[in-house]
Structure 1
Amino acid sequence: MPELRIEAVVNGRKVARNAQPYQRLLDFLRDDMHLTGTKDGCGAGECGACSVFVDGVLMKSCLIPVGKAQGSKIETVEGLARKGDLSILQKAFHKTGASQCGYCIPGMVMAATAALRVNPFADREEIKERLGGNICRCTGYQKIFDAVELARDVQNGRLPVTALAETEVADGKYIGANVRRLDAPGKVSGALKYAGDMTMPHMLHLQVLRSPHPHALIESIDTSEAEAMEGVEGVITAADVPGEDGFGVFVHDQPVMARGKVRYVGEAVAAVAAEDVVTARRALAKIKVVYKPLPALFDPFEAMKPGAPVIHDYAPDNITKHIPIRKGDIEKGFAQSDLVVEQDYETQAIEHAYLEPEAGLGYVDADGVVTIVSPSQNITHHRHMLAKIIKKPIAKVRFIMSPVGGGFGGKEDMIYQGMLALMAMKTGRPVRLVFTREESIATTAKRHPSRTTLRMGLTRDGRIQALSLKMICDGGAYGLSTEGVMRKAAILGAGPYAIPNVQVDTYGIYTNNTPSGAFRSFGALQTQFATESHLDICAERLGLDPFEIRRINAMRDGAETHTKQKLKSVSYLRVLEAAERASHWEKGAPVSRGGARRDFARDGEGVRAPCTLGARFSEDGKLEAAE
């Protein structure tokens, strides 16, 4: 199709540029006009990071074909204030600390600007409604709403302009003071460059061919047609790795690209670098891969069964990591308990949903140093792994951490940086890779799905005598952070409670699902969800207030954990009491019951009876009823 000639007014200046008919307005602004404050977060009109004004109307530029921009007046975040200055609203975002990672903030500023243009006196509820089309994963939104209200009041004269000024810190004491973020101006103005915003002269664009199979042998890869295409400068596979092909956080079990077989749908098999993204994608279709499907495992319990298909040869039982912890005599503890409650708890895989898709830039500098620019959350470890992969001394490998547009643990893994390095070395040119949102969701690590079986024994006054916890986690196809997640889950699984007898087992299991990795709370969420839910159930069984059962068992100063760690100062009771006050909890209020349980009550004479809903004891300690 022929190119389009786009004539428009962008940020007050007339422009006339050629554009490709398949481009979106977003692509035109970012790639042709270099206005990268307009971010590409989802490509589907959901996140609002690409918001711009078109003829005065707030619109999502990822949904607008570039041809629709013909003759339009377009305003981006860069056009809200003179260069080097900030608008009142941008200053308010800076003042209130409304930006964290900052990736969503230019779009959020545009939506907030639109809100105050439509109604300069909008109240907080209207502000919330008008910003409803924009997503932020970091802030919790409250500071953003504060910023819009502050800008509204300054614009309307309710507050002086000095309300936007920096607050002086008394006597240089910054702890506990409201201090401005140093990087906020670049974030609220759209000037800060993330990896996907960065370009270099003579840069190539990388695209990745991914496996359609969850588990299969690779019998052959033919890249000849792709390599022969005009505009293609390089094709790489596992055969291009010169050194030790393996990376990971704890176990280096993942190759840069699939070597010999694929282990999950979406695993990288080959990569193409071309003069533009479209050519690179067309070249991927020319690569011929012959697969021999293998039996696949999608359930960790199936993967643990004897005779199950083996995903990694070094782990014939498909166990990535097992963490066992023992304290006291668990059976003695249950024997001394009046009530024993057993329950299963499950958590699902969760997408990190950071607003910035994975992106990176790789090049070899004039001194032969292989350089990777990416939002890596673990760049020192990545540097050491990459040096072994590309077989270069560490002095010849450099990682530069670009601003991280949200990570939450999900950018701790070196998923694509190795491909950038190999391609930059092969072509001698800078190479950039930017994931689509679909690619990010389908191929990168999620929170570990888990099933926890928890058994707790308590005396009738609510004191925990024994806790047995067994958690099975789906670690997916590669190890990534699974070992660390299992350790943290085991260490924190018993909660902040003084329990004399503890048995904990956490297992990370290989499957042919998308790999699981680090995510906020790093394993503690799964086991703490089970432990705290279980305490509510036990409180109900014993007729105790849920806050009270926690107070009874809370660790105090000088306590020892089930891993034998001595704690000097324990603030749990203070936190618990603050939570009780803040929640306006009505003492003795019932808590909701969970699902099916296996509960047992023991009376004063040692008679053990099944108890599915609750137990009542007489004053002399005999079991009166087990409902």
Structure 2
Amino acid sequence: MSELDLELEVNGRKVRRRAGVHQRLLDFLRDDLNLTGTKEGCGAGECGTCSVFVDGKLVKSCLMPAAKAQGTKIETVEGLAGTGDLTPLQKAFYKTGASQCGYCIPGMVMAATSALRENPDAGIEEIKERLGGNICRCTGYSKIFEAVEIARDVIAGTRPAAVLEADAVDASYIGNNVRRLDAPSKVSGRLRYAGDMVMPGMLHMQVLRSPHPHALIKAIDTSAAEALPGVACVITAADVPGEDGFGVFVHDQPIMARGKVRYVGEAVAAVAADDVVTATRALSLIRVDYEELPAVFDAEEAMQAGAPVVHDYAQDNLVKHIPIRKGDVETGFAEADLIVEQTYSTQQVEHAYLEPEAGLAYVDHDDVVTVVSPSQNITHHRHMLAKIIDRPINKVRFIMSPVGGGFGGKEDMIYQGMLALAAMKTGQPVRLVFTREESIISTAKRHPARITYKMGLTRDGRITAVSFRMISDGGAYGLSTEGVMRKAAILSCGPYDIPNVQIDTYGIYTNNTPSGAFRTFGAMQAQFATESHMDICAEKLGLDPFAFRRINMMRDGAVTHTRQTLDSVSMGEVLDAAERSSGWEAGAPAMRGPQRADLAGVGTRPPCTLGARVRKDSAANRQEVA
């Protein structure tokens, strides 16, 4: 591997090191100088987590070859305050709660510092523009912008430095603005995430992934990869000593593909080597003999007789069906003056947390297999891994590293088992850090869903019956699908008191990327359909959508379709507050004129026309007037 001599200044110190010609400035700072405050979120210059100063100019270090840093002055987030106190800007981030998961914050602090250095009087619009190259997935940006404005004023002397100090707290912390304990380590770049952690003798893992959505694995030849200098081990499903299977409700997913692959991106083999370059080179030497199989990519098609079978135990490709019944829907529809039926679709959604999946595994001096990762479910993972590696539970340990954004996407044990196997096989620590591409192709997404919604109504706006049928694409493995289907069924009809209900939610196996937990899992898909349908029905009845909801909303003492009695229901107060604060003009949307310019953000059409999709055809969009 070719190298070059680098001489530069980093955070005020002269540095002379040999660097690989392939290295980016980001790699040099993190791997050679251990300045891990500079993060990698995308590797493509889009997210801004890798922002540093090069000769005073803000640069995304993932796009700059290390060789181009020759003779320059580099400043990273660790160097902003040196060994002293936090800068006013970092204190302002601490004050406002601008750091949540914290992964984007070092880069955000660098971009904000650049903004105030270039224009100490920057207004809010300029601040937004200058931070436009940095992405945050947690905060909604408001507290970040507020922090920059406070820091600007403190630096200019128009506000006292005391505004950066903690607010006084009364007898209780509840109801008071309390600063996060971990914020200083986040704004200074000192906090170590899994991908920042190193250990002596650490190996680096890379993963060979399937190019096919559905195929038998006839043979895997790893001999050439194992013979490559620098390779410590190659692992496949054959290395699993125990019960190979993990998941949340059904343990149907092997650590690596066993016998066949079920989606593009599924792990087939993994290499642990002295460095990432060697591990990557070894992947190209592994030979896998595949026999392609018919695949299915649509959940409704997967339910049909003769569809390709994803898992032998589920010949109908059904992960889970949740049926709920209340009253008699046929009687309810017979009592209706109007029946409205629509089909709604929601799409697969990527979590896009800024910290890609990463982990570090080792076997300690007491023979305890230890995995460090941003797992959102470490107790469950520990118990599953103990069975997989055939060790007693007291010989398995999980340590939860700081989570650089999760949103439910890090609940699944996608890669921790591979790390544990490699650490056991080599006796050395092993680290794996996903690229953004790996994260997208191989980890769980929000369940796509197709919902057929049929509602019976009286002329005065009473809902007499609802039939709700939701078919969700669970992808290649079960993961959280059962829980998502339960949540969707429980919340399917929203906060409305409906006497006759028929609910069916189906999670279906396909050869798509697995679907899993994502904020509001199941509820978002169901509520999108319910609230869209409510607006459509209100318009067809000529009723104001707020009035229509008030007619049907649950009240104190209501019994849900899962037979839960509600003692206290705040639906009326929520509707009142929403109507009041939005400036909503009374009347059905069809009865009102064009949207007023001063009501920006208040829609005049059903929300179903935005974002996800409503399918309108003769079968799915049916109205019957009794």
- Same topology, TM > 0.5: yes
Q: Distance in 2 between matches of 1:477 and 1:325?
A: 26
Query: In 2, are the aligned partners of 1:106 and 1:189 still within 8 Å (CA)?
Result: yes
1:418-497 equivalences in 2 (<5 Å): 418-497=417-496
Tell whether the 8 Å contact from 1:50 to 1:61 is kept in structure 2 after alignment: yes
| Counterpart check, 1:600 vs 2:600 | no
Measured in 1, the distance between the counterparts of 2:10 and 2:510 equals 51
Q: How does 1:51-70 map to 2 (within 5 A)?
A: 51-70=51-70
Q: Which residue of 1 aligns with 2:598?
A: none
C-alpha change, 1:327 and 1:84, in structure 2 (3 Å) is farther
The DSSP-based 3-state class of the residue aligned with 2:479 is: coil
User: Which residue in the other structure is 2:269 paired with?
Assistant: 270
Partner deviation per Cα, 1:132-187 (whole Å, 9 max, x = no partner): 000000000000000000000100111111110111102x2111110000000000
Instruction: Give the whole-Å Cα distance in 1 for the aligned partners of 2:460 and 2:75.
Output: 67
Superposed displacement of residue 582, structure 1? 1.5
How far off is 1:330 after superposition?
0.3
Q: Deviations over 1:440-471 (max 9, x none)?
A: 00110000011000000111111111010000
Question: Structure 2: which amino acid aligns with 1:122?
Answer: A
Corresponding residue number in structure 1 for 2:163: 163
**Separation in 1 of the partners of 2:547 and 2:123?**
41
> 1 CA distance for matches of 2:588 and 2:58?
48
Question: What CA deviation, in whole Å up to 9, does each residue of 1:410-460 have, x standing for no partner?
Answer: 000000000000000000000000000000001100000110000001111
Counterparts of 1:253 and 1:541 in 2: how far apart (Å)? 46
Residues 1:518 and 2:531 aligned together: no
Q: Counterpart of 2:24 in structure 1: which amino acid?
A: R
1:24 alignment partner in structure 2: 24
- Cα separation, 1, equivalents of 2:62 and 2:462: 58
2:366 equivalent to 1:367: yes
Q: Which runs of 5+ in 2 are unaligned?
A: 590-603
Retained in 2: the 8 A contact 1:465–1:499? yes
Partner of 1:107: 107
Q: Is the 8 A contact 2:539 2:588 kept in 1?
A: no
Write the letter of the residue equivalent to 2:573. Answer: R
Aligned to 1:75: 75
Q: What SS does the aligned partner of 2:558 have?
A: coil
Q: Give the whole-Å Cα distance in 1 for the aligned partners of 2:319 and 2:329.
A: 26
Q: For 1:259 and 1:582, locate their aligned partners in 2 and report how far apart those are by CA, in whole Å.
A: 56
Partner of 2:309: 310
Aligned to 1:10: 10
Which amino acid is 1:499 matched to? I
Report the Cα distance in structure 2 between the residues aligned to 1:457 and 1:250, rounded to whole angstroms: 35
Q: Which residue of 2 aligns with 1:86?
A: 86
Q: Secondary structure at the match of 2:6?
A: strand
**Cα drift, residue 254 of structure 1:** 0.1
SS at match of 1:234: strand
Deviation at 1:589, TM superposition (A): 4.9
Q: How does 1:390-429 map to 2 (within 5 A)?
A: 390-429=389-428
1:128 alignment partner in structure 2: 128
Contact 2:310 2:510 (8 Å CA) reproduced: yes
Displacement after TM superposition at 1:302 (Å): 1.2
Residues 79-120 of structure 1: per-residue CA shift (max 9 Å, x gap): 000325211000000000001000000000000000000110
Using the alignment, how far apart are the partners of 1:146 and 1:212 within structure 2? 46
Offset at residue 600 of structure 1 (A): 2.8
**Which residue is 2:593 aligned to?**
none
Secondary structure, counterpart of 1:555 in structure 2 = coil
Unpaired runs of 5+ in structure 1? 603-607, 609-627
Distance 1:576 1:397 in 2: 50
Match of residue 42 from structure 1: 42
Give the share of equivalent positions with the same residue, in percent: 76
Quote the offset at 1:566 in angstroms: 1.0
Paired amino acid for 1:110: M
Name the residue aligned to 2:254. 255
The size of the alignment, in residue pairs, is: 602
Aligned-pair distance for 1:336?
A: 0.6
> Does structure 1 retain, via aligned residues, the 8 Å contact 2:192–2:402?
yes
Amino acid at match of 1:454: Y
* Distance in structure 1 (CA, Å) of the matches to 2:109 and 2:232: 40
In the alignment, is the contact (CA less than 8 A) between 1:47 and 1:134 conserved in 2? yes
Match of 1:347 in 2: 346
> Aligned AA for 2:4?
L
Q: Give the Cα separation in 1 of the matches to 2:543 and 2:456.
A: 15
Number of the residue aligned with 1:534: 533
Equivalent runs, 1:219-258 vs 2, <5 Å: 219-258=218-257
**1:93–1:144 CA contact under 8 A, matched in 2:** yes
**1:573 maps onto 2:572 in alignment:** yes
Whether 1:152 aligns to 2:165 is no
Matched with 1:560 is 559
Q: Distance in 1 between matches of 2:621 and 2:165?
A: 61
The amino acid of 1:209's aligned partner reads: L
Matched letter for residue 236 of structure 2: T
Q: Distance in 1 between matches of 2:186 and 2:558?
A: 45
Q: Tell me the SS of whatever aligns to 2:74.
A: strand
Query: 3-state DSSP class of the match of 2:548?
Result: helix
Equivalents in 1 of 2:333, 2:5: separation in Å? Answer: 78
Residue 577 (structure 1) shift: 1.2
Partner SS for 2:248: coil
Name the SS for the 2:85 alignment partner. Answer: coil
TM-score (norm 2): 0.95
* Equivalent position SS for 1:344: strand
Task: Work out the CA distance in 2 between the residues paired with 1:580 and 1:29.
Answer: 52
> How far off is 1:568 after superposition?
1.0
User: What is the CA–CA distance in structure 1 between the aligned matches of 2:566 and 2:382, rounded to whole Å?
Assistant: 36
Is the CA contact 2:208–2:283 (under 8 Å) kept in the aligned structure 1?
yes
Paired letter, 2:291:
K
> Structure 1 residue 583: deviation in Å?
1.0
Counterpart code for 2:623: F
CA distance in 2, matches of 1:215, 1:21: 39
Partner Cα separation in structure 1 for residue 181 and residue 464 of structure 2: 51
Cα pair 1:344 1:452 within 8 Å, conserved: yes
Going from structure 1 to structure 2, the CA distance change for 1:589 and 1:540 (only over 3 Å counts) comes to closer
CA distance in 2, matches of 1:386, 1:529: 37
CA RMSD of aligned residues (A): 0.9
Distance 1:486 1:21 in 2: 51
Contact 1:339 1:599 in 2 (8 A): no
SS at match of 1:432: strand
Question: Which amino acid letter does the alignment assign opposite residue 491 of structure 1?
Answer: I
TM-score calculated relative to the size of structure 1:
0.95
- Counterparts of 1:566 and 1:397 in 2: how far apart (Å)? 43
Instruction: Confirm or deny: 8 A CA contact 2:542 2:588 kept in the other structure.
Output: no
CA drift of 1:598 comes to: 2.7
